[in-house]
Each structure stands twice: as structure tokens, then as C-alpha cells.
Amino acid sequence: MEKREYNWLDRVDSPRDLKRLSLDELRLYCDELRHYIIEQCAVNPGHLASSLGAVELAAAVHYVFDTPDDRLVWDVGHQAYAHKIITGRREAFRTNRKLGGISGFPRIAESPYDAFGGGHSSVSISAAFGMAKAAELRGEKRQVIAVIGDGAMTGGLAFEGMNNAGASRKTNMLVVLNDNNMAIDQATGALKSYLLHISTSKRYNAFKNRLWRWFAHVPPLLTLCRRAGNAVKHGLLQKSNLFESFNFRYFGPVDGHDVRALVTVLRALKEIDGPKLLHVMTVKGKGYSPAEHNQCEWHAPGRFNPETGERIASADGRDRYQDVFGQTLVDLARLDRRVVGITPAMPSGCSMNLLLRAMPERCFDVGIAEGHAVTFSAGLAAAGIVPFCNIYSTFMQRAFDNVIHDVAIQRLPVVLCLDRGGLVGEDGATHHGAFDLAYFGCIPNLTVASPLDERELRNLLYTALQSGVPFVVRYPRGKGEGAAWRDEAFERLPIGRGRRLTEGDDMAVLTIGPVGNVAARAVKRAAAEGVSAAHYDLRFARPLDEELLDEVGRRFERVVTVEDGVVRGGVGSAVRDFFDRRGYRTQVRSLGIPDDRFVEHGTPAELYAQCGFDEEGILRAILER
């Protein structure tokens, strides 16, 4: 990619400015917009490939519709960078995902153009339907548009939204299906084949192309085309149209990078009432060759050299926790024929792609469907398989009831692997794994553990396999401590037992998970400053090690608990409850993620400091008398 001067980019600070451009100028503007996104993401990382794929779409929607009066909802929101830049955030985009800067996702609080917040998948149709219904109830005339990817469309919630909205034939809403045949990894499932079928059906497309050409040149034909709708499409498509079955009028597929064609089609659709869906074909990473050629890696590539496409990674020899999970799962699957892996659309994110490559028949990418992933796992477990179901902590929130109803009550031996537990950094409030220790800590029959380091993660996964009970293993995003783990012999760990890491006399520090390593450094520094702190690693949030806690309660008047999770309802709360119940008068100070606000985006180091449980914060709490 070559450096270039911008002639059009700087002229647009709002959709109103955009509308002043001719269609030819709009195309030139889109080229520059794409270039700017690449240039900025190279130095300030973000969701590059999806946003490159939606440049023309964002421009065309803002060109045709009257945002913010017309409501535009982006599903997930990771493809909305062009939208942000068009809607007055061109300069602010330099602060994308930085502490105090704009969010990587749409946010209602950030701009009137962000009609609905994003981050988690498959919400757009339900939200847009709510807005369309509200407009109807309030007698307001406005358009509502939901842009949803083919990956997000695999989520059950999207179908719940369509089912509901489709029954309301008068309600005016447009769903734009942004189909690039990719989620983060390869698209999966029956919907993928279906979308491929309708986007490649030659007879239907030849007919449809003629229809759209008429649309463009002879406006009165619009009415005719509307009437032609269902019957013709059904006749030409071998399968009945899925979206039409939900009472959505189906239009497309159209080329999502031909901004002129998009404008033409959207203008036409604006005149059609009721629920309708426009199928748009895009290329993930469009316009940046490295991203087009390796769409998965360029979903969120980190920093890179825009000229060469070389990604800039810091190599310090330490593995990520997800690497430990991915390789250990392969090792366990080799050890035990009952082991399988389940991921809701995150094989690369959680490194289950290692199992997918090694034993594809024993690895299931079920689409963006966390609830289904858990219940599917429960079904497998009920039939003698040991599923390792890996879900990012924040997305597990979607499957809370499935864990209670389908796993815990029935005591089925599902291993729930919670990746991204704790603060995740730049993705911000929607993605921090803040609540899991609180929401799993209160469920009967669940064992909940978190390792201190890589080797312990490996051993906890092994222990979970041996346990025969519902077992949660929770670990954070990013790199570990550098502990040796590869090819280490497995060790079965005692369930519900913690251990003392450091002896001390003045007070005790209780930790769970890798944040214990940070606390260990603070404990050392406290000793140098004259405070002798005993350090205990609980390892299990449930069941708690009561013997260990009795020892602490008996010996210490002052305790600091540290967890990379929300302070209320988490491990600190459970420890305090235990001391109360046992009648210990120990004073407990709990450090963790605050529960009086959502923590926003920033680097992990900045956020730990802000929340007061970085090394300095823990040290301060230990020294406080």
C-alpha cells in the first residue's frame, strides 16, 4: 500500500457532506476512506478486515438514508469504522480503542449516529425491530436499517428477531445481510451452504440482474418488480427462499463493493414498505491484498507495516494461555477417545483450530451460538462423550441458563473452558470477562477453577477430564508467565484445594488465577517495606478451600483478596461470607473489577491500574494498615 494524499476524505464530516458528492466522487471517497482505515489500523490496531469489507456499504447507506433520523444498527459493530469516520469521527478515529478515545464499536453515548451499541453478535434485527415498532407506535416516519454479517446471522437471536419482525408485515425495516462467507474463521453450518446456493444460482442471478437494471432506469417498473417478488424467486431458486419464509422480502444478491449499484438498490428499497432483506456480497479485507488473502489473521491483525503487510508481533518466548489450552486439548484427545472440542465460532480465537486441524471429526465449530454450544455439549456428555466447550467469558453470559439447566442440574461432565476471563483491554466494556466468577460461583454442582500459570492450566484441564463432573476452567487473554508446560507429564490436582505460596505474619493476601503472579511481586515488595504478608492461591472459586480459609481466619486480622473479576459476588465476597459464617473477625479488603460502573477500553496495564489491582495497587492495599 502506498502513501497518498487525501482529496475527498477531508471534505466529509457528516452524511450531509457525503450527499453533496456525485456518485463518481463517492467512489473516489470510498477509496480514500479505505486507505485511511488501513493507515490508522497499522499503527493503532483494530478490526481491520471486516471494516474494509463494509466501506461502500456504510457510504451507500449514509448517502441514501437520512441518518441519524433514520436508524442504522450495526451488528457486532466491528465493521463500522467507515460509519464512524463518515459520521464526524475522522480525527477521533486516531484514538480508536485507546484509553479515553472512541470505542471500537458503535455506542449510543458516543454519537447520535450510533443508533445502538455493539460488541456481541446477532442483536441487530431485534434492536432494529424494536426501533421500527417504536416509530410506528409514536406515529413517526423513519427508516430502520440493520446491517448483519453472515456470521452474525448464524446466531439464534437473529432468527428470533426475524421470526418476530416477519409477523409484523406493516413494520418498515430493512435488513442488509453483509455476506463475505466468513465469520472470524471460515463460515460454517447449513446457512453457509444456503447463502452460497442463493448467491451462485446462475438462473436466478441472471434474472435478478435484469430486474435491477430495469429498476435503475424505469422507476415505474418498481411496482411491477415488487409484485413479481415471491413467485418468481421461488420458481428460479431451487430451494424456497429462507428469508421470504420469514415474510421478509428478499432482494439481491448485489455486489457490495459497487457503491453506485448499492445506492441504486437502496434508493429503490427505501420506497418498499414492510420487512425486507437485501443480500450484499462483500469480500472480507477488501482492497488490502494481505487481508484479502488471509482473512482470518487479518480480522484483527495487531500492528503492521502497511507497505509490506508484515505484522508486528512482540516475540518474547512466552506462550498465550489459549495456546496452552489448544495444545493440551489435542494432547488430551490423543489420550482419551471420549474427548471432543466445541467452539461457537472462535476456533482461532481460543486455539481450538489445533484440534480442528489434527482431528476434524472430533471438533465442532457450531457457529455464533453459545447457548447451543453448551446444550449440544450437554447432549454429548449425556451420551458418554467428554466435551471441552470453549467460550470467551463475556460470550458465556449468553449461555447462563444453558449451564444451569442443561449442565449443572443434570450434573453432566461438561468441561467449560472460559477463555478471556478478566479485563481484556482494547475491546472494552462489552468484552471484559468481568462477571463469570460471580455468576458461576453461585451455581450448585459446578466446580470452578482458575490456574496460576500455564502448567497449572494444563493440569486443571487434565483434572477436569478425570473429574466426571461439570467443571469450569477460567483463564485470561494474552500471554502467560513463561512457565514450562509443553510435553510436561499431567498431574491430577486435588479439587477444592488451594495452597500457601508465601509464608508471612502481618496479614494475608488471597488470590485466584494468574493475577496471583502480580500479587506475588507486590508481596515481595511489601516485605522489603516491612510488611510480612502470607500469600495464598485459592485455585478454586468453587468449592472454596475451607481448611485453608479456616487457617487464614484464625491467624490474620487483615486480609486482601485479589481477583481479575467483579468485586461484588466474586471470590472476595465468598471469602467474606465464609469468615462471617465462621465468626472470624477478619477485616477483608477486596480488589478487583469495580461493580459501580463498566470498565471501558484501554491497554490491559492501564485498566488494571485504573481498577487498582495492578502491582502498585495491590502493594498499596497490603501496606494500608
Ligand X SMILES: CC(=O)[C@@H](O)[C@H](O)COP(=O)(O)O
Ligand Y SMILES: Cc1ncc(C[n+]2csc(CCOP(=O)(O)OP(=O)(O)O)c2C)c(N)n1
Active site members = 284, 370, 398
Q: Which residue has the cell 487479518?
A: 298
Residue 542, helix vs strand vs coil: strand
Q: From the CB of 73, what's the least distance to ligand X, in Å?
A: 16
Cα gap 446→500, rounded to integer Å: 24
Which one of residues 15, 45, 46, 53 is an interface residue with ligand Y (CB under 6 A)? 53
Query: Residues 553, 569, 387, 120: is their CA dihedral positive or negative?
Result: negative
Q: Please tell me the total number of residues recorded for the chain in this structure.
A: 625
Q: Which residues contact 105 (CB under 8 A, 6 or more apart)?
A: 74, 76, 77, 78, 80, 117, 118, 119, 428, 430
CA distance 82 to 86: 6
**598, 394 Cβ separation under 8 angstroms:** no
Helix (H) or strand (E) holding 68: none
* Contacted by 398, from ligand X, ligand Y, Mg ion, none: CB < 5 to 8 Å by type: ligand Y
Q: Is 402 in the site for ligand Y (CB under 6 A)?
A: no
Using CB under 6 A as the criterion, which residues of the chain lie in contact with ligand X when the complex forms? 47, 76, 78, 184, 300, 349, 420, 424, 427, 477
| Burial label, 272 (beta-carbon count in 10 A; 0-12, 13-18, 19+) | middle
Closest to 440 in 3D by CA, of 599, 566, 581: 566
CB of 477 to ligand X, least distance (A): 5
Nearer Cβ to Mg ion, position 76 or 473? 76
Q: Which stretch binds ligand Y (CB under 6 A): 96-104, 144-152, 241-249, 450-458?
A: 144-152
Nearer CB in complex with ligand Y: 53/592: 53
Strand partners, 281: 179, 255
Q: How many residues bind ligand Y (CB under 6 A)?
A: 21
Among Mg ion, ligand X, ligand Y, none, the one that 561 touches (CB under a kind-dependent 5 to 8 A) is none
Q: Within 59-88, which residues bind ligand Y (CB under 6 A)? A: 76, 78-79
CB of 243 to ligand X, least distance (A): 25
Q: Which of 45, 46, 119, 149 binds Mg ion (CB under 5 A)?
A: 149
State which residue, 322 or 459, has the beta carbon closest to ligand X. 322
Q: Is 20 exposed, middle or buried, given 0-12, 13-18 or 19+ CB atoms closer than 10 A?
A: exposed
Pick one of ligand X, ligand Y, Mg ion, none as the site partner of residue 53 (Cβ within 5 to 8 A by kind). Answer: ligand Y
Grid coordinates representing 550 are 479456616
Nearest residue to the partner Mg ion, using Cβ: 149
- Is residue 426 close enough to count as binding ligand Y by CB under 6 A? no
Total Cβ atoms within 10 A of residue 17: 16
Closest CA to 472 of 496, 495, 440: 440
For position 184 contacting ligand Y by CB under 6 A, the verdict is yes
Q: Is 234 exposed, middle or buried (0-12, 13-18, 19+ CB in 10 A)?
A: middle
- Report the partner that residue 427 touches, choosing among ligand X, ligand Y, Mg ion, none (CB closer than 5 to 8 A by kind): ligand X
Of 148 and 549, nearer to ligand Y (C-beta) is: 148
Closer residue to Mg ion, CB minimum distance, 147 or 225: 147
Minimum CB separation of residue 152 from ligand Y in Å reads 3
Residues that bind ligand Y (CB under 6 A): 50, 53, 76, 78-79, 120-121, 149-152, 180, 182-184, 284, 345-346, 368, 395, 398
